[in-house]
Structure 1
Amino acid sequence: MNRQFAAVEPSRSQIDSLPGPALIEFGTPWCGYCLAVQPLLEAALAAYPNLPHVKIEDGPGRRLGRSFRVKLWPTLIFIEQGRELARLVRPTTVDEIVQALRRFPGQV
C-alpha cells in the first residue's frame, strides 16, 4: 500500500500505459473521508502486495481527476491497461474494496 501522494501528478497517458492491474486513489491528505478509508485500504491491500497503488492529490485545476470524472473523495479506480474495471466512491468497508479487487482477472 502506498501511503504517499504522488509528488507530481502523472498524465492520463502515463496512467493508461501502466502494465497490468493498478489501483488509482484520488483524494487529499486533509480530507476526513480519505483518512477514514486508509485502514480499510491497508487491510484489503495486504493480500495484494504487488499491486501498484497510485495516490493522486485531487482538487481544482487537477486534470487527471477530471479525466476520470472524479467528483467526491476518496475515489478508488481499479484499472488494467487503461481500462476501468471498477470504481468505488467513499467505500466504508474492507469487503467493498476486496470485491472490487476481485474484478482483476487472476493477475493480482
Structure 2
Amino acid sequence: MATQSLTQHTFDKVVASNDIVLVDFWASWCGPCRAFAPTFEASSSKHPDVVYAKVDTEAEQGLAAAANIRSIPTVMAFREGMLVFNRAGVLPPDALEDLVNQVKALDMDEVRRRAAEQAPAHK
C-alpha cells in the first residue's frame, strides 16, 4: 500500500479513523529523510492493515509545530487514536519492522489504563 500525505486538515481524521497509523515527518531538503523514504515505503507494502502517512514539514509547518517536531525525520505511531511511539531519527528496516509488530501487539486496554494512571488528577 502506498503512503499518503497528511495535512493539518486531514491529520486528526486519519489518525482517529484507523486502527494503526505510522507517520513520517520529513522535508525534501533533509538527506536522512530521503534515505529513510524507501524503507518506509517498503514497510507499507508488507503491512496493508497499517496506514502509512507522511507529513511534509515545510508545507505543513503548523502541523509540525503542533506535533512538536524538533528534528526530522521523526516517526510517530498511533494505535486507536493514541500516540504510542515518537522518535526522531532514521529507523533501519529491521527496527521499523519491529516497531510495526510491537504496535500491532499492544494490549490497548493496558495502554489506556496506564495512561489514565499517569494523567494528572482533576479536582
Q: By the TM > 0.5 criterion, same fold? A: yes
| Alpha-carbon distance in structure 1 between the residues aligned to 2:44 and 2:20 | 13
**Aligned position for 2:24:** 25
> Amino acid of the residue matched to residue 45 of structure 1?
S
Q: How big is each residue's C-alpha offset from its partner over 1:30-65, in whole Å with a ceiling of 9 and x where there is no partner?
A: 321111001221333332023211211114972222
Distance 1:61 1:25, change over 3 A: closer
Residues 9-44 of structure 1: CA deviation (Å, up to 9, x unaligned): 335532442321111111112321111001221333
Partner of 2:64, secondary structure, is helix
**Residue aligned with 2:99, SS:** helix
Structure 2 residues not aligned, in runs of 5+: 107-123
% identical aligned pairs: 17
TM-superposed deviation, 1:80: 1.4
> By percentage of residues, which structure has more helix?
2
- Pairwise CA RMSD of aligned residues? 2.6
- Whichever residue aligns with residue 25 of structure 1, its letter is D
Q: Which has more radius of gyration? A: 2
SS of equivalent to 2:33: helix
Q: Which runs of 5+ in 1 are unaligned?
A: none
* CA distance in 2: counterparts of 1:46 and 1:61, whole angstroms: 25
> Which residue of the partner structure matches residue 55 of structure 1?
54
Residue aligned with 1:56, SS: strand
Shift in CA distance, 83/76, structure 1 to aligned 2, threshold 3 Å: same
Look up the equivalent residue of 1:78 and give its one-letter code. A
- After TM superposition, the score normalised by the length of structure 1 is 0.76
Supply the AA of the counterpart residue of 1:75.
T
TM-score, normalization by structure 2: 0.68
- Larger RCO: 1 or 2 (CA < 8 Å, sep 6+): 1
